[in-house]
Amino acid sequence: MSALTTNKSVLSWIDEKVELVKPDKIVWIDGSQEQIEELRATACSTGELIKLNQDLLPNCYLHRTAVNDVARVEGRTFICAPTKEAAGPTNNWMDPQEAYTMLYDIARDSYKGRTMYVIPYSMGPVGSPFAKIGIELTDSIYVVLNMVIMTRVGKAVLDVLGDSNDWVRGLHCRCSIDEEKRYICQFPQDNTIISVNSGYGGNVLLGKKCFALRIASYQGWKEGWQAEHMLILGIQNPKGEVKYICAAFPSACGKTNLAMLIPPESYQKKGYKVWCVGDDIAWIRKGADGRLYAINPENGFFGVAPGTNEKSNPNALATTKEGTIFTNVAHNLDNNTVWWEGLDKNPPANAVEWKGNPWNGQTSEEKGAHPNSRFTAPAVNCPCLSSEFENPNGVPISAIVFGGRRAKLAPLVYQSRDWNHGVFVGSIMASETTAAAAGAVGVVRRDPMAMLPFCGYNMADYWQHWIDIGKTLDADKAPKIFNVNWFRKDDEGNFMWPGFGDNLRVLDWIIDRCEGKVGAKETEIGFIPNAEDINIEGLEGEVSLESLKSILEVEKELWQEDAKGIEEFYAKFGDKIPPVLAEELATLKKNVQ
């Protein structure tokens, strides 16, 4: 098949990689429906995909990864910057030359007998001033079909690229899925990603975490914009005005659920609506009017399946009903559909579990779906997708929200005093590990801006970049910065806030604060709502004014303890800690003394 471009930098890079991995055949992905159909058919014929019930789930497929290849591998993910310091203390680092040599040795000849697929893709609407282009080479049809959902793929992307050399190189080689030789390497200075020995989404859909966060965060630093691990949502009030919020949360804090939130009944009656722009990544830059604007660079949702149901997230569930690839969920053989834990209370008896073994969901102790099983679903399917989703100039951001899972300490919501204090609030983000993950439960892991596994350079430089962005914004134009915690527990271990759709009550207060419509108490840690200003109408029996007050309190002793933890965390960065943040920490310590 002939090349879809005459771009010399593209063609010579592909020639080099062909020489290295030696494919039998090269196929350029043009994004056409015929080609997608053909690839689906090939994947079904080899067992890579299983075609699901086309009446119930049109154009939906099931895939199983290797049992040893089911999640992102942070321990095997490297930032290959020129020096260890450039990668910083929170990233694994490898010398670029050593990394290339090692990776090329692993990749050499690995496409023999296989096809090389060349995927030209755009992160962001094709041609948008925010968008960036990548080319991924892969020997996996599963990767091609996922990239077709998650990004904008095809010839139009190459037409926009023209002769430019400004594109991200991505080489993915399945090899033998050997865990010991699995590496996910980013070379930010070279706009390059190499991923070997994995077939799992987060490691191999190179447009997502590898490019749109790790490489893009570095590009943003150099070019004056930001790539963040944030959802973007719009809240429409009864007057029809829509205000946009970006929010960063570590995994397992309900980001996709918040992005597709269904307003509580009392809000629905008044005419409130919530629109989803994105559930995972935001690219943010200043617009001509001096405000910050955000786009979602992705084109689909790569969501965790277990726990997604008609109640927790009906919008996500609806999104998966067409054109979706399910990975590592259970296969219901009675009607050729899929099932996962938490979908409903009716697991199939005649099924195949995620590893491919027969499974009776009614009697088995084993799980049917892997806890990190996923759906890859087109954004256009989402019933609450924002009409601004394709806007090439993004949406204006009123508020930035940080959050984590903390049983104690962090109040339901507080507002930073100003931008720099907000950067401090983001930098001290932390979340407690849950029973779902390996290791001790309830251990606090610092995860600044939810970027711990995704920042492509030294986190201290990243914080300074946040501070520098703030310097370019007029105070009345800068988004206000908040912190939320949906996960406060009482002494018996019960959650004290209902979460899910009711989180809109907190977002409502946040928007009111942005518009100067509501007062707040200035406390040691920032501005806290007066409890009466959080609307708890309709929550009778669930949340009392008293309990709301108690999750809005600042407990000084706990903050003194936390300040020690922050100090230890900051110490890792030595004298690279931005002076602004060192001062904010000193202020916090003094305030909570």
Q: Which does 562 bind (CB under 5 to 8 A by kind): Mn ion, ligand OXD, none?
A: none
Which of residues 5 and 226 has its CB atom nearest to ligand OXD in the complex? 226
* Cα torsion through 414, 295, 142, 251, rounded to 10: -10
Question: CA-CA distance, 448 to 160, in Å (whole number)?
Answer: 35
Which of residues 71 and 160 has its CB atom nearest to ligand OXD in the complex? 71
Which of residues 212 and 329 has its CB atom nearest to Mn ion in the complex? 212
Question: CA-CA distance, 373 to 116, in Å (whole number)?
Answer: 27
Q: For residue 515, count other CB atoms closer than 10 A to its CB.
A: 12
* Cα torsion through 589, 428, 233, 467, rounded to 10: 80
Radius of gyration over every alpha carbon of the chain, rounded to an integer in angstroms: 24
Question: CA-CA distance, 421 to 409, in Å (whole number)?
Answer: 18
Q: Is 246 a catalytic residue?
A: no
- Nearest distance from C-beta of residue 208 to ligand OXD, angstroms: 8
Residue whose C-beta lies closest to Mn ion: 280
Which of residues 280 and 341 has its CB atom nearest to Mn ion in the complex? 280
Restricted to residues 3-32, the positions that interact with Mn ion (CB under 5 A) are none
Q: For residue 276, count other CB atoms closer than 10 A to its CB.
A: 26
- Nearest distance from C-beta of residue 118 to ligand OXD, angstroms: 25
Which of residues 200 and 559 has its CB atom nearest to Mn ion in the complex? 200
Cβ-proximal residues to 54 (8 Å cutoff; 6+ apart), any chain: 60
Restricted to residues 530-549, the positions that interact with Mn ion (CB under 5 A) are none
Restricted to residues 273-302, the positions that interact with Mn ion (CB under 5 A) are 280
- Nearest distance from C-beta of residue 288 to ligand OXD, angstroms: 31
480, β-bridge pairs: 399
- Nearest distance from C-beta of residue 71 to ligand OXD, angstroms: 8
Choose, by CB under 6 A, the member of 88, 170, 202, 456 that binds ligand OXD: 202
- Nearest distance from C-beta of residue 147 to Mn ion, angstroms: 17
Q: Which does 72 bind (CB under 5 to 8 A by kind): ligand OXD, Mn ion, none?
A: ligand OXD
- Nearest distance from C-beta of residue 150 to ligand OXD, angstroms: 11
Is there a contact between 395 and 350 (Cβ–Cβ < 8 Å)?
no
- Nearest distance from C-beta of residue 190 to Mn ion, angstroms: 24
Is there a contact between 374 and 302 (Cβ–Cβ < 8 Å)?
yes
Restricted to residues 524-553, the positions that interact with ligand OXD (CB under 6 A) are none
Closest CA to 280 of 454, 88, 500, 498: 454
Find the helix packing angle between 459-471 and 216-223, rounded to 10°.
Answer: 40
Q: Which does 479 bind (CB under 5 to 8 A by kind): Mn ion, ligand OXD, none?
A: none
DSSP strands (E only) in 461-574: 480-484, 521-522, 527-528
Q: Which does 226 bind (CB under 5 to 8 A by kind): Mn ion, ligand OXD, none?
A: none
Closest CA to 68 of 273, 375, 370, 377: 370
Question: CA-CA distance, 273 to 270, in Å (whole number)?
Answer: 9
Binding residues for Mn ion, rule CB under 5 A, total 1
Q: Which does 202 bind (CB under 5 to 8 A by kind): Mn ion, ligand OXD, none?
A: ligand OXD
Restricted to residues 343-382, the positions that interact with ligand OXD (CB under 6 A) are none
> How far, in Å, are 29, 91, 518 from residue 574 at the CA level?
47, 15, 40
Restricted to residues 241-280, the positions that interact with Mn ion (CB under 5 A) are 280
Restricted to residues 5-64, the positions that interact with ligand OXD (CB under 6 A) are none
**Residue 355, CA atoms < 13 Å, CB-side half-sphere:** 7
Which of residues 251 and 327 has its CB atom nearest to ligand OXD in the complex? 251
Q: Which does 128 bind (CB under 5 to 8 A by kind): ligand OXD, Mn ion, none?
A: none
Alpha helices in 497-555 (DSSP H): 503-514, 545-550
- Nearest distance from C-beta of residue 326 to ligand OXD, angstroms: 15
Find the helix or strand (DSSP H, E) in which 283 lies.
Answer: strand 282-286
Cβ-proximal residues to 476 (8 Å cutoff; 6+ apart), any chain: none
Q: For residue 25, count other CB atoms closer than 10 A to its CB.
A: 11
From the list 80, 185, 210, 253, the catalytic residue is 253
Which of residues 125 and 278 has its CB atom nearest to ligand OXD in the complex? 278
Choose, by CB under 6 A, the member of 17, 40, 64, 72 that binds ligand OXD: 72
Which of residues 212 and 581 has its CB atom nearest to ligand OXD in the complex? 212
Which of residues 400 and 412 has its CB atom nearest to ligand OXD in the complex? 400
Is there a contact between 543 and 496 (Cβ–Cβ < 8 Å)?
yes
Q: Which does 63 bind (CB under 5 to 8 A by kind): ligand OXD, Mn ion, none?
A: none
Closest CA to 203 of 76, 39, 328, 101: 76
77, β-bridge pairs: 184
Restricted to residues 243-302, the positions that interact with ligand OXD (CB under 6 A) are 251, 280, 302
Cβ-proximal residues to 83 (8 Å cutoff; 6+ apart), any chain: none
- Nearest distance from C-beta of residue 73 to ligand OXD, angstroms: 11
Interface residues with Mn ion (CB under 5 A) are 280
Binding residues for ligand OXD, per CB under 6 A? 72, 202, 251, 280, 302
Residues annotated as catalytic (active site), given as ranges: 253
